[in-house]
Each structure stands twice: as C-alpha cells, then as structure tokens.
C-alpha cells in the first residue's frame, strides 16, 4: 500500500514533536549535537521499517505531488497547472535556501576570505579522495570502477540531486544500475551525515577546550530546538514576520524563472539554485543601499521552520530497506569513504580553520554536506550553536559553499572520473 505524499507532509509536525520529546529525554542526542529533525525523522523511518518487516502490514509513501497550488511558487508560469509531479518537500527546500541567501550579509561573505577558500578547497579535495578511494576499493572488490564513483562524490558530496542529474551519464558509460545504486548510496550518506557531523565537532571542541563542555552541557535542556517556539516567535513578530515571508515568496518565484533560464542554457543545477542566487542578490542590494529592514533574527526563524519541516519530511520518507539492500561492496566503499571524510575533516581541515568554536562548527557543516546534504549540515551547525553559542562566520559561509559553490567543482571531478573509467 502506498500512502499519499500529503499524508507524509501532515506527519511532519508530529515527527518534529516526537523528535523534540526524545531530544529532551535521551541525553546522548543533545550532548552530541544530533539535530531534532534527524532524531524524529529517523525514528519514524525505523518504525515504518519495523512495521514493513514484521509481516503485520506493508506500506510506503509517495514522494511526488502535482498540485498546482502547492508547486506554483517553485515553478515558472508555463509549468503551472500542467501536472508535472515534483517532490512534495521541494517548496520547503527552496524556501530554506532562499532564507540562506537573504540572510548572508555581503560583508561577512567578503570577509570569508581564507576560511571560505579552505572550505571550498577542502570539499573539492574530499570529492577527489572519495572517488579515488571508491575506484580503488571497487577494483579490489571486483566490481565496476564507476560503482566506486557512485559511492564517492556523486552521492556523498553531491547528494540525491547530483546523483539524479548524472545517473544517465553513468548508464551510458556502462553502469546499468546507476540510478538505483545512487539512490541507495545517497540515502546512506544522508543518514550518516545527520548522525556523524555533530558528534565529530563535539569531539574536536572538547579536545581543544574540555572546560567548555561543562557550561555547554549545563544548558542543554534549554538548547533543544523548538518548532512551535519558532512559530510563536514569528507570530509575535507581526508585520515584520509577514513582510519577510512575502519577500521570501517573491524571491522563490523569481528564482523559479531564473532557474528556468539557466536550464535553457544547458546548465545542470540544483532546483533551489535560482532562488538562492536571487536571495543573495537581494541581500547585496539591501546592504549596498544601507537597508536595515532585512532582519537576521526573523530570517533565522523562517529558515529554522522550513529546514525542520523539510528534514522531517525527507528523513521520515526514507526507505531504509534501500540501506539493507546495499550489496557488500557498496557498503564497504560507503563506510570507508565516510571514515576517510571524517579523518580528513578532523586532521586536515580542523587545524587549517584554527581549532576554535567557529572551526568546529564549520567542520560539522563540511562533514554534513560532504557526506549527506547542505540541509543536514545546517541542522548540525544549528544544534552546536544552540548549545555552545553563535558562530556567525560558519553559519554564513557553509550554506553557500555546500549549497552551490561545491557543485561547480564536484561536477567536473565526477565527469573526469567518468571519462577515465568508462
């Protein structure tokens, strides 16, 4: 039995509330910065897996809808009403990245300098290493080398979107099962990124300043993210919250047109790219004119609400049977690549960034999108910030790096490996 994607969307809030409840009662989760949506979403997915394997019932969730009213903002005018099905969580994802663009002060991006360069170069090097390790392990395990790339930067650094975009190229190069293998590998990465980014940063920060852990740990109960708390704060914001919501909506629609134009040029970019670029442009104009009405705290609330809903829907809908079905060689490659990424982040990137609170938060973000997705990266950083205090450079630099800058370097890396081993 396949349940409607609308049912899945309706489950998002209960999933978040369950995640908050578990987060407050299981000390491990806040102590190691496991985000609330990850806790709730994966718990729901595990319950679905248990129900499906118990023999009592078997069901899954549809992931796409074609309702024009829900999809209108994220599609250009000619797509509206044509019935083209899209993921039900797409408006949430695009809205989140729009907030990322609008909340990125130009002065912080300009001052990113060395940190931004380190992040981008590190992510690019990780992409190369993941593919090289994947190809080497594939050769040793007697499977096609391209499967090593699928279990490398295609799905770990790239995620589901990049995997979908390159699936046909891998199939043309001779890997017939590329699409299904990539879906399973990207699911593994999403789970691994959500569960490992926060704990790695916590370990690094404790090694540098063990005394800070006591103060952070003492405040953990108040640091748990609250979905309804964010909604109440937006409600109390009145006109300001509403004006920001209208600006976000306008940027999403303008971004849909920009994305359509970019696609017409042959560019293969994520669905949220247009809205993110529009948000960045609006913020740049706002700052250049000395504007003050774009308020970071309001954008942060909207971003938190949209991100929480997106992750809840995404993780709750995961078919964990895909992970159980991953063949031995794929699982070996994915586990080794994840381990290599963590080691590189801890022993190379962490020292380069300065071994401080900002560096630890950036490392969590790097691991989040280097193994999973930018959404899991932001969620992990948010968990750290709520416990240990603000990290403005990290939370400003990581989203655009993982959201679109890495696509400009990862895509050529993937293409080069396809040419080498096809």
How confident is the model over 102-119, as pLDDT tens digits? 987 776 666 667 888 999
Confidence tier at 220 by pLDDT (50, 70, 90): very low
pLDDT beyond 70 at 25: yes
Alpha-carbon distances, residue 299 vs 71, 232, 365 (angstroms)? 22, 14, 19
What band does 217 get if pLDDT is binned at 50, 70 and 90?
very low
pLDDT at 413 exceeding the cut of 60: yes
pLDDT single digits (tens) 226-279: 888 888 889 998 899 999 999 999 999 999 999 888 778 776 667 788 898 899
Contact between residue 115 and residue 393 where contact means Cβ atoms under 8 Å apart:
yes
* Overall size of the chain counted in residues: 422
Q: What is the mean predicted confidence (pLDDT) over 144-148?
A: 93
Q: Which are the contacts of 55, defined by CB distance < 8 A and separation ≥ 6? A: none
DSSP string of 33-97, one letter each residue = T--HHHHHHHHHHHHHHHHHHHSS---EE--EE--HHHHGGGS-GGGTTS---EETTHHHHHHHH
Give the pLDDT confidence score for residue 228 in this predicted structure.
84
- Copy the structure tokens of residue 393: 């450079």
What pLDDT score does 302 carry? Answer: 94
Lowest mean pLDDT across 194-203, 295-304, 325-334: 325-334
Residue 67 CB contacts under 8 Å (≥ 6 apart), including other chains: none
Spans of all domains in the chain: 2-421
What pLDDT does residue 71 have?
86
If we measure between CA atoms, which residue out of 392, 390, 368, 302 comes closest to residue 34?
Answer: 368
CA distance 1 to 176: 28
User: What is the pTM for the complete model shown?
Assistant: 0.84
Taking the C-alpha atoms of residue 242 and residue 245, their distance in angstroms, rounded to an integer, is: 5
pLDDT for 222 equals 46
pLDDT tens-place string over residues 133-143: 999 999 999 99
For the chain, give the percent of residues with pLDDT over 70.
90
Quick one: average pLDDT of 39-66? Answer: 84
24-28, 79-83, 209-213, 320-324: range with lowest mean pLDDT: 79-83
Residue 59 has which token pair?
């069901």
The pLDDT of residue 219 is 46
The average confidence (pLDDT) of the chain is 86
Percent of the chain clearing pLDDT 90 (strictly above): 46
Q: Interior CA angle at 67 toward 63 and 72, to 5°?
A: 110
């Amino acid at each position: 039995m396949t349940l409607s994607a609308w049912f899945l969307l309706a489950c998002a809030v209960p999933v978040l509330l369950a995640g908050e409840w578990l987060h407050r009662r299981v000390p491990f989760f806040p102590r190691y910065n496991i985000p609330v949506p990850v806790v709730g979403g994966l718990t729901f997915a595990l319950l679905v897996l248990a129900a499906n394997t118990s023999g009592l019932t078997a069901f899954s969730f549809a992931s796409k809808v074609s309702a024009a009213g829900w999809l209108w903002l994220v599609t250009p005018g000619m797509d509206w009403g044509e019935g083209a099905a899209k993921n039900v969580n797409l408006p949430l994802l695009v809205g989140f990245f729009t907030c990322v663009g609008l909340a990125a002060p130009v002065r912080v991006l300009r001052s990113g300098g060395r940190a931004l360069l380190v992040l981008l170069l590190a992510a690019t090097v990780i992409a190369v290493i993941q593919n090289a390790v994947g190809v080497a392990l594939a050769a040793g395990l007697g499977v096609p080398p391209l499967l090593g790339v699928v279990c490398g930067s295609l799905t770990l650094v790239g995620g589901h979107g990049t995997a979908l975009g390159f699936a046909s190229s891998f199939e043309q190069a001779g890997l017939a099962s590329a699409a299904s293998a990539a879906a399973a590998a990207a699911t593994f990465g999403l789970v691994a990124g959500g569960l490992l980014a926060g704990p790695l940063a916590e370990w690094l920060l404790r090694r540098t300043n063990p005394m800070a852990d006591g103060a952070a740990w003492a405040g953990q109960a108040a640091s748990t993210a609250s979905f309804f708390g964010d909604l109440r704060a937006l409600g109390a914001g009145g006109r300001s919250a509403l004006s920001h919501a209208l600006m976000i909506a306008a940027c999403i629609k303008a971004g849909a047109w920009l994305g359509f134009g970019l696609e017409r040029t042959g560019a293969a970019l994520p669905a949220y790219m247009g809205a993110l670029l529009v948000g960045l442009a609006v913020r740049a104009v706002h700052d250049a004119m000395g504007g003050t009405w774009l308020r970071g705290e309001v954008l942060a609330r909207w971003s938190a609400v949209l991100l929480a809903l997106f992750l809840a829907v995404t993780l709750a809908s995961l078919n964990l049977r895909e992970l159980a079905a991953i063949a031995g060689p794929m699982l070996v490659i994915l586990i080794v690549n994840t381990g290599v990424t963590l080691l590189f982040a801890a022993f190379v990137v962490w020292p380069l960034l300065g071994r401080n609170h900002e560096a630890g938060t950036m490392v969590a973000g790097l691991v989040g999108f280097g193994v999973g997705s930018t959404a899991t990266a932001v969620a992990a950083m948010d968990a750290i910030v709520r416990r240990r205090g603000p990290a403005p450079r990290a939370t400003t630099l990581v989203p655009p790096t993982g959201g679109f800058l890495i696509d400009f370097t990862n895509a050529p890396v993937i293409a080069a490996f396809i040419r080498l081993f096809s």
